[in-house]
Structure formats: C-alpha cells, structure tokens
Amino acid sequence: MKITLSVLFITILLFYFQPASAQIDSSLLNSPAKKDTAKHTLSMDAIYNRPFKKLGSSSLSIGGYVESDVQYTNTSGITNGDQFQFRRFSLFVSSTIAPHIKFLSEIEYEDDPSGDAGEAAGPEFGVEYAALDIEFNPLLNLRGGMILNPIGGFNENHDGPKYEFTDRPIAMTQMLPDTWNNPGFGLYGKKYSGHWMYGYEAYVTGGFNDSIINNSQGKTFLPAAKSSITRFNTSASGEPLYTGKLSFGNDQIGEIGLSYMGGVYNTWRVEGAQVDNKRSVNVFDVNFNGTIPGLHTNIISEWAWIFVDIPPDYTPEYAHKQFGGFIDVVQPIIHGRILDWDNATVNIAVRGEYVDWNDGNFVATGQKMYNDLWSIMPAISFRPTPQTVLRLNYRRQTQNDITGNKIGAAIGPTAGLSFGLSTYF
C-alpha cells in the first residue's frame, strides 16, 4: 500500500511539474571538459555534469568541490556544543582519451558519519570513482572500473554544491549507503526524442557483506558494508551485485528514475564448503526531480525500499524490511545581481525526511517494531554563483527506538542549527 501510494504521488508530480533541472543550473557551470553533447541531461549524467577546467592543450580536465560546516545539535537537552566539520574535499580528473573513449576519476577526502561508526577507522581518503567509458553507440556504452551503483538519484548526483542543505539525506546515507561505489562493469545508454529522454544503466559489481546484519548500529544497516577495507578486492558472497536503472525525462515535466539493486550479500561458503544459506538483499528505489513552471520551485525526492533475507534464528533488531526517503523543495526568492555577482540567488528551502529501519512486528508480542525517524529541515541559502553555496539550516527531528520509545540513551527529540559552505572549484 505504501509503495502504491508513493508511486501514485510521484506520478502525479511527474504530470504536474515542468522542466527538469538540478538545484543549480548545470549549464551555468564553467568549462565542462567533454560532457555529454546532448541538449538535456539525466541524473545518470551527473558524474560528468560538473564544472571542469581544461589543462592547457592536454586532454586532461580537472575540477572538484569542497564542503564544510559548523553544527550545533541538541538531543534531549544534551549537546556537545559547536562542532566544526570539514566534510569533504573532492578532486575530479577527466580525460578524453580518444573519440568516444573517456575517463573520469574522483579522489575524495571524506569525514562524514556514514558507514559503520563502530568499525570505521576515521576519515577516508580514497578513490570514489575511476571509470572508463567507451561509447559504441549512444544507446550502448561500456563503463568499467570503480563506479557508482545507479541506485536512486542521490547516489549518482550527490555533490555538496548542488544542495541547499549541509547534511545529506538521512535515508540515503543511513539506510542506503550513499556514496555507494564498487568495482564493476556495465552498460548504459540514452535516447532523446523531442522533449523526451530515456536512459538505462545496468551494472554488475562487487557488493555487500555480512556486516549489514552484524554491525555496531544494531540494526540492518547497508552502509556498514562501506567500512570493509577488503570490499574493493574481495566479494563476500562471491557473486555479483546487480544494479539497474531506467530513467524517463521530459524537459517540460521532470525526470523520474526507477532502480533496483540486489544480490547475495553473505559469506555462505568457506574453504569451498557451504556454511550458510545464500541470503540476498534487494533494494527498490524511485526518484524524481522537477521544477514547477512559473514559480521555479525545484523539487527533488527519492524513496527506497530495502528487503533483506535475515536468518530465521537471528535477533529482530535486524530488520527484514526498511523504507525511507526525502523530499527537497527549493524556492528561489531573489535572483540577479547581488553585490558584484551577476547571477546570484537567494533560496528558501525545506527538506522532509522519514526512515523506518525496522518495518515489521515483533514475533514475541505481535506489536509493531519501530526504529524510525522523522526530520524536517528548513533552510536559507545564498548562491553568489551557481557553483558556490552558503547555507543555513535548522533541523527538528524525532525518533523512536525499536519498541517505540521516544527517549533513550541515544535517541530523543533533536534540534540542530548548521551553517556551511560548499563550492565547486
């Protein structure tokens, strides 16, 4: 029922809203090295749809972004005070190797509370993306290397400067494992017909491991797999993770994406002998972005449903089913020349979020399991240029633990203020 309602909601949005655009107009970004020559883009193009600067006469282009903020958060009256956070520094290098052959890499320093905090070794400095693209035909491209699994819209389109919020959506980082990258290969293609755009992506990659149901969070937690330092060399299950996405866009309406990711996640074979049943994880995702005509109100939304095979004699703290998502509504209120910036914008925005990490009922009592969270985050942002954003956010959040308690050791009514900046360079 929830799935049906969500699909209905997204469908209504699809028919009522107009031209697709990110929260910044990517056409205003400077000097893309060799991005798609098509007139319109989809979320799947986000990896190349960034500002690059060409290095002299070489085939190399570089770019990057940085993201930093200060936050003051209070849970049940308890605060750790002001926290200054340097979230990310990301460097892109792209190259057109030959006609129809291009390469892009993204090296990122990240100090963000994603992954399994109990297992993580601290800030990461690693390769987030490094893939070769060979175009045989616009409808048939081969991509291989370290890629971003195209689950939903946010995983492929997550650069800090594109958003009016200092934090990434909770459902995308604490339920889905954004940024979820894996070594692998696959095909993608696009077709444009009048106002319409169609795209597909289909990849096989490395995947999850047993940590998604055995982690310091004490809940089914796909991001825990990110903390494994061996996942870029060893697949826990020895089987591929399949990820596929279909995108439909209309420059008068918006873009909707339907995606799936799934495969066996557990180590079921040791020394050649089967020690456990194969257990799978399946993720379904719907994402939408569009702009209300006339008002220029931008809407981005994504909802995901996760189904995990859990051993029958395992603790109910680890859920079979999770779902959650977010919706961002961004309204430009001032646009034009401000101080010395010709193309500046002031936005007001709001983000609504919901995550249910444990959708089901207790066997012991028949009562509903909770472990869910609601959050609303109004924001004001100032963009002196489309590439740079200063943003001020206020968050109100309420949470239930697994039995529905609203106050506990780690939960309680939460509010936070954050001020941050992010910019492409």
Question: Binding residue for other proteins (CB under 8 A) from 414, 420, 422, 424?
Answer: 414
What DSSP designation does 10 have? H
Taking a C-beta distance cutoff of 8 angstroms, is the pair 416, 373 a contact?
no
394 binds other proteins (CB under 8 A): yes
CB of 119 to other proteins, least distance (A): 7
> Between 1 and 270, whose beta carbon lies closer to other proteins?
270
Q: Which of 133, 173, 136 is nearest to 151 (CA)?
A: 173
* DSSP states of 345-375: EEEEEEEEEEEES--EE-TTT-PEE--EEEE
Checking DSSP bridges between strand 181-193 and strand 196-205, what pairing results, if any?
A: antiparallel
In angstroms, the CA 4 to CA 9 distance is 9
Does the protein bind other proteins through residue 316 (CB under 8 A)? yes
Report which residue type is found at 158. H
Nearer to other proteins, 174 or 247 (CB): 174
Q: What is the DSSP letter of 60?
A: E
Cβ proximity to other proteins: between 164 and 201 the closer is 164
Contact (Cβ atoms closer than 8 angstroms) between residue 98 and residue 133:
no
Q: Does residue number 413 form part of the binding site for other proteins (CB under 8 A)? A: yes
Determine which residue in the list 23, 382, 391, 424 makes contact with other proteins, applying CB under 8 A.
382
| Residue type at 55 in one-letter notation | L
Residue 172 CB-half CA count within 13 A: 27
Residues 251-270 that bind other proteins (CB under 8 A): 266
Q: Is 118 in the site for other proteins (CB under 8 A)?
A: yes
Q: With beta carbons less than 8 A apart as the criterion, state whether 114 and 170 touch.
A: no
Q: How many chain residues bind other proteins (CB under 8 A)? A: 59
**Given candidates 126, 238, 360, 404, which one binds other proteins under the rule CB under 8 A?**
404
Stretch that binds other proteins, among 19-27, 95-103, 287-295, 331-339 (CB under 8 A): 331-339
**Is residue 113 a contact point for other proteins (CB under 8 A)?**
no
Report which residue type is found at 379.
A
Q: Which is nearer to other proteins, 50 or 391 (CB)?
A: 391
Residues binding other proteins (CB under 8 A): 72, 74-79, 82, 118-119, 210-211, 213-218, 266, 275-276, 279, 311-317, 334, 338-339, 346, 362-365, 367, 370, 380, 382, 392, 394, 401-410, 412-415, 417, 419
